[in-house]
Structure 1
Amino acid sequence: MKTQHIFTFSLIIFIFYTSIYNALGCDKGDKAFKNLKIQTAIAEYSDCLKHTPDDKNLLERLGDCYLILDNYALAESYYEKMVDKTKYFQPVMMKYAMCLNATGKTAEYDAYVQSLLKKFPQNKSVLKLIQQWHSTQQSSNYEVKKVLFNSDASDFSPTKMGSKIYFSSNRTLDKKKDGFTGLGYAKIFEFDSTTQSVTPVFTEFGRYNIGTPVFYNHGNEMIFSANEKSKSKGNSYLLKLYHSKKEGGNWQHPTLLPINFKNANNTHPCINDDGTIIVFSSDQIQRNGMDLYVCFKDRNGQWKPAQKLKAPINTLGNEVFPSFIDHQTLVFSSDGIGSPANGLDMYMTTLQNKNWSNPIPLSPPLNSKFDDYGMSSDKEMNSGYFTSNRDQADGTENIYHFSRTDTILLDSIIYEPIEEIHHLISGVVTSDTIKISGAHISIFDAYGNIIVDTITDDLGSFHLPVTESPYYTVVAEKEGHHRSSTLILLQDIDKENGVSLHVEMPTITKGDVFKLDNLYYDYDKWDVSEESIPELESLYDFLSLNPNIKIEISSHTDARGNDAYNLKLSQKRAATVVNYLISHGIFKDRITAKGYGETQLINHCKNGVSCTDEEHRENRRTEVKILSVQK
């Protein structure tokens, strides 16, 4: 995206990055980056890099700056200097993959993805990358064409009303410039298909950026987002949601909707046909990117408070640009459900019995390896419009029209009907070599949907055919045992014989203790080292799989050093683990941090006893104690 206006993915990337990165010690660069002056930040960071050319943080930040500007080639050049410097998984690897994909280096991208899969076969981000790759192999019967009313600027977020199409663009109207992009502010334009003319409209609705409106009540009411200045966020220009109503043929002065979050961006609104449900995007929760929120109108015509949509719709990435296809079907874009390497992709979800279904990606050519978002469609998705930067090497967004290429009745509005391919997944469930009968087995596809489930037989066995998916998750559960989860990649399943698993389900009782074997700290430090992340991820997975368990994180030191100091050090180390788990979504009432210092040595190496480093190492440990198991 060339223009990086405040409504697009570039700002979203910026919000996401600034929420997780600290200052780098390059003061002028940090200040410019914080104030959205990306070009200035690049100059300052580049100058700092001359003095410390191997600084990984500076290299990544420069890559991020160019990624924000959608200069994928330059971003790639900085990320490339980092990705081979660590044997542990790092988020920069996903950004590097994104750049390879976006610059059309197909062979390099495929090879890099395969290398990540070999190195990190269980990593969730890598699995999302495989999931995304698999979905791009599907194709749908749509024809996609760029519309004629695009300009050299960014044109995006179309919405159709009768013979007219409304959209946002930062094509120049006056001399005012967006301080973030150095280009014009985004305004609303109207394309009239009868006269083939483009006209700026609603310019009086905002001094700065104005987002495309969505209409309802037979076109007599609309909601949209626009900027307002916020002193509480350092004079930043926050996006808010507005409402306007047509009276006597004229649109009234817009008023703020009561559903806005204070001190946060509120943007990308959509509303269903009867005006009773609004979905919008906000960064109200810090360190969590942009999320989707839903509001329902009560019987008195008042809007209820906005509620965040649950996972798997919202992720740690960004969920943006929602639009209603019909009364209860929503299409939105995300860089967190699939792999960030594919940028923003469009997904569909349906409101069923007050719950939203698991999101399913739209298949190509609607989605591409670039950013795709802002859909406006008829209720059958026979034709419509969306936004993408797929055809521009510099990333400029354009509006595209899509239409079905035939009238075949499909089983799905997303995928063409194809013959289902089945694979066989078999296995035996045991606990300490004892075969477990009556265990419940569920097999999920890559999108979190249950494909099939069963109960193990008297021999602890199960045999289940499954439809094709890039990978599968086999979950086994039975009361009194650890809930077990096993990942299977499609490429590991033999086409003729399938795959056979050995699923271990240890018993779990109050008072059980197990050691975190690969948790490392630097001497006299309590920060978790880089090589400890896989162990923490495994602990997080265990707690996620077993929500009925409460635990204590117990940290122990060896006997060297002051007793009181060791007690404080161990408490800090235990707290570090707990804080990691909480920051990743584990409820704090499930985990307790307890530092024991040198009070629970497991060998003879107490104060005054001469011991080897290896013997002292036995006492330095972090353990997990089961405090309770709810039935």
Structure 2
Amino acid sequence: MGQDTRLEKANEAYKKFAFIEAIKLYNEQIKKGNNSVELYTKLGDSYYFNSNYPEAANCYAKVLANSNDSHLEYYFRYAQALNNSQKYKESEAVMKEYYKKSGKKDLSEDWNEIKLMEGIKKQSGRYTFKPVEINTPFSDFGGTFYGADKVIYSSAKDTGVIIKRKHSWNEKSFLKLYTADITTDGGLQNPVAVKGDVNTRYHQSSPAITKDGKIMFFTRNNYVDGKLGEDKNGTTYLKIYVAHNINGEWKDVKELAYPINSDGFSSAHPALSPDESELYFVSDRGNSFGNSDIYVVSLKKGGYVGNDVTKLSDEINTLGRETYPFMDSSGVLYFSSDGHPGLGGLDVFAAIKDLSGVYHVVTLGDGVNSSNDDFAYAINGKNKKGYFSSDRGGNDDIYSFTENSPPIFDFDINPIVFGTLKFTSGGPIEGVAVDIFNDKDELVKTVYTDAQGKYKADLEPFIDYKLVYKKSGIAEKIQIAPPFKPMEKREYSFEFVNEMEVVVDNETKTMKPGDDLNKVLDLKPIYFDYNGYNIRESSKVELNKIVDLLMTRPSISLQVNSHTDSRGRDEFNMKLSQNRAKATVDYIVKHGIAADRVNGTGYGETRLINRCSNGVPCSEAEHQQNRRSEFIIIVK
């Protein structure tokens, strides 16, 4: 009876997730001769959930050798434990057996040591990283961005308790949330406990904060009205809560409603999509095997969560543990898992959907990942700096990193903007500069149209862009481009007026810099009265033609040259021509053309176009030829 009582206590500890105590009690039973499959199953799980994979593998080997009706999941978990113990050949063999018994597509090759190491090598060497200054001898992990210069992270430093961070926590270990300042080199300093009502005597962890800094989702024990909530068996699970920033303090803490939370399962580790329209989180709902999966639910403004909870596909979720999701500004989903083949323990993976909606998953490689647990990855999409956590040093610590190159997927994830630019007359426009500005009005790249008038540019997703089309001889155009989704292909094609072409009397004429619009437009001469500079009514009709042309051709500017005949004093004629040039410019500007596009110069009688110089007898018609205005084309 005493032995039965000790076994009952062991099973009770197991149900309470007190795995350290369960390990001690189960081993006592083994020494007393209890070698049941059930005992080794629970002992193996207790080792497994504390990352003691060699001992877990030993237990699972006994379970599978002595039971013909073991759950298929234990083949998977046994393979995990072997993989995490770097026994890759044995792991691949067990996975092959798992797929054979399950009838699923055989993916055991993914666990092959050569293939696994080739994939890891391909993704390795992309980071530089180091521990941060705020790490303590206790558990410190996470690093959620809070504004431009702070993070919020979790620590047990004030409780003096070193814990194992797992899907379910031991109730004697207390985590609180702290803020820390980001240094110029990506380090962390000045840790301060988060102000407000978020921190309690129980666990708080893994926050997700909106870009405006007003709303925070976070993980906490089921804690309501000053006491722990429990299920019918007395087990306390994790829940996701939301808090609002009120004058710098996190207040108005509320539990998210079902189907996010329940007293009968855990939900934890919230993460926001880049546009904050979705909330990703982890839950063990519907999974009695002790594993966790990643889910997503819609999110509305103000932090209101929908009820459309969806489990991510099997490319992400496995029979292992998927946890700590994070989505960067490019739409890449990062998460930790021990169910995907890796270096051991929890490894960090990156995933993104292709155009058909299928996730492609890759490891982040050696450096971020190790043979220990690596998790809580977060990256700033703009400066490529971030944080992840690992117990590779014997305890959970935070590491800062700089990503020197992005994860390598088997397809291009960047969106593309493209288009074709043509003249209204039908021909393509070659050499148009397409300047692309980001949401900070910074020029990020310039591309040019080819001989067919086509252009194409790769962009970053989830960013507002402005495209500016420019070339001498066409009107500049600005196109506002709302954020692109990953791999989106969006077309912006336009027709432009060829500013250097004009139709006169049904004839298309091509203009060039230095041409005189008098000849191009076949204008009647712009005449002035003798010794005067008032524009004649008949000449206004011709000037209006010039105004119309300039209105539709903003790249064209004019140099107005005014001349007189030779009669009268030279000084008088120079002043007269200057006044005529000014009168002409003033007329054009008054009718809607920018003043910086029209410049006037008077030349007096210095540029006669016939023989009628001083003292030479000429007819009035001959003198009239010299009293002229020129409109010389300048292209800016």
TM-score normalised per structure 2:
0.52
Q: Which residue of 1 aligns with 2:557?
A: none
1:311 aligns with 2:311: no
Offset of residue 253 of structure 1: 2.4
Contact 2:385/2:400 (CA < 8 Å) preserved in 1?
Answer: yes
1:129 aligns with 2:114: no
One-letter identity of the residue aligned with 1:112: E
1:143 aligns with 2:134: no
Q: Which residue of 2 aligns with 1:368?
A: 370
Q: Residue by residue, what CA displacement relative to the aligned partner does 1:49-72 show, whole Å, maximum 9, x if unpaired?
A: 234365444334323323323344
Q: Which residue of 2 aligns with 1:279?
A: 280
One-letter identity of the residue aligned with 1:136: I
Q: Which residue of 2 aligns with 1:478?
A: none
In structure 1, what is the Cα distance between the partners aligned to 2:387 and 2:303? Answer: 31
One-letter identity of the residue aligned with 1:192: D
Q: Which residue of 1 aligns with 2:205?
A: 211
Q: Residue by residue, what CA displacement relative to the aligned partner does 1:474-502 show, whole Å, maximum 9, x if unpaired?
A: xxxxxxxxxxxxxxxxxxxxxxxxxxxxx
Q: Which residue of 2 aligns with 1:591?
A: none
Change (3 A) 1:73 1:300: closer
In structure 2, what is the Cα distance between the partners aligned to 1:117 and 1:69? Answer: 22
Q: Which residue of 2 aligns with 1:172?
A: 158
Q: Which residue of 1 aligns with 2:12?
A: 31
Task: Map 1:108-119 onto structure 2 (within 5 A).
Answer: 109-110=87-88, 112-113=90-91
One-letter identity of the residue aligned with 1:200: A
1:160 aligns with 2:145: yes
One-letter identity of the residue aligned with 1:42: I
In structure 2, what is the Cα distance between the partners aligned to 1:142 and 1:60? Answer: 39
In structure 2, what is the Cα distance between the partners aligned to 1:250 and 1:111? Answer: 53
Offset of residue 270 of structure 1: 0.7
Q: Which residue of 2 aligns with 1:269?
A: 270
One-letter identity of the residue aligned with 1:153: F
Q: Which residue of 2 aligns with 1:45?
A: 26
Change (3 A) 1:81 1:257: closer
One-letter identity of the residue aligned with 2:48: L
In structure 1, what is the Cα distance between the partners aligned to 2:94 and 2:377? Answer: 32
In structure 1, what is the Cα distance between the partners aligned to 2:353 and 2:97? Answer: 38
Offset of residue 168 of structure 1: 1.0
Offset of residue 369 of structure 1: 2.7
Task: Map 1:206-245 onto structure 2 (within 5 A).
Answer: 206-228=200-222, 229-245=228-244
One-letter identity of the residue aligned with 1:31: E
In structure 2, what is the Cα distance between the partners aligned to 1:252 and 1:132? Answer: 47
Task: Map 1:90-489 onto structure 2 (within 5 A).
Answer: 109-110=87-88, 112-113=90-91, 124=106, 126-130=108-112, 132-138=116-122, 139-161=124-146, 162-173=148-159, 181=170, 183-193=172-182, 196-202=189-195, 204-205=197-198, 206-228=200-222, 229-258=228-257, 260-263=260-263, 264-287=265-288, 289-297=291-299, 302-305=304-307, 306-326=309-329, 328-338=331-341, 342-350=344-352, 355=357, 357-379=359-381, 382-392=384-394, 396-404=395-403, 413-414=407-408
In structure 1, what is the Cα distance between the partners aligned to 2:389 and 2:78? Answer: 24
Q: Residue by residue, what CA displacement relative to the aligned partner does 1:319-363 show, whole Å, maximum 9, x if unpaired?
A: 211111116322112222336x83322222235679452323222
Instruction: Please give the secondary structure, in 2, of the residue aligned with 1:260.
Output: coil
Q: Residue by residue, what CA displacement relative to the aligned partner does 1:543-587 show, whole Å, maximum 9, x if unpaired?
A: xxxxxxxxxxxxxxxxxxxxxxxxxxxxxxxxxxxxxxxxxxxxx
Offset of residue 236 of structure 1: 2.2
Offset of residue 209 of structure 1: 0.6
Moved more, 42-51 or 354-363: 354-363
In structure 2, what is the Cα distance between the partners aligned to 1:189 and 1:297? Answer: 25
In structure 2, what is the Cα distance between the partners aligned to 1:330 and 1:24? Answer: 47
Q: How many residue pairs end up in the alignment?
A: 382
In structure 1, what is the Cα distance between the partners aligned to 2:51 and 2:98? Answer: 27
In structure 1, what is the Cα distance between the partners aligned to 2:69 and 2:339? Answer: 21
Moved more, 33-42 or 347-356: 347-356
Offset of residue 299 of structure 1: 8.6
Change (3 A) 1:156 1:354: farther
Change (3 A) 1:25 1:311: farther
Listed as ranges, the gaps of 5+ residues in structure 1 are 1-22, 418-631
In structure 2, what is the Cα distance between the partners aligned to 1:177 and 1:74? Answer: 20
In structure 2, what is the Cα distance between the partners aligned to 1:177 and 1:361? Answer: 26
In structure 2, what is the Cα distance between the partners aligned to 1:52 and 1:197? Answer: 54
Listed as ranges, the gaps of 5+ residues in structure 2 are 223-227, 412-636
Contact 1:348/1:362 (CA < 8 Å) preserved in 2?
Answer: yes
Offset of residue 87 of structure 1: 11
Q: Residue by residue, what CA displacement relative to the aligned partner does 1:124-174 show, whole Å, maximum 9, x if unpaired?
A: 574342264442333232123222221222211211333222211222337
In structure 1, what is the Cα distance between the partners aligned to 2:62 and 2:284? Answer: 31
In structure 2, what is the Cα distance between the partners aligned to 1:335 and 1:354? Answer: 26
Contact 1:381/1:413 (CA < 8 Å) preserved in 2?
Answer: no
One-letter identity of the residue aligned with 1:279: Y
Contact 1:363/1:415 (CA < 8 Å) preserved in 2?
Answer: no
In structure 1, what is the Cα distance between the partners aligned to 2:8 and 2:48? Answer: 21
Contact 2:75/2:98 (CA < 8 Å) preserved in 1?
Answer: no
Moved more, 68-77 or 58-67: 68-77
Contact 1:24/1:57 (CA < 8 Å) preserved in 2?
Answer: no
Cα-Cα RMSD: 4.0
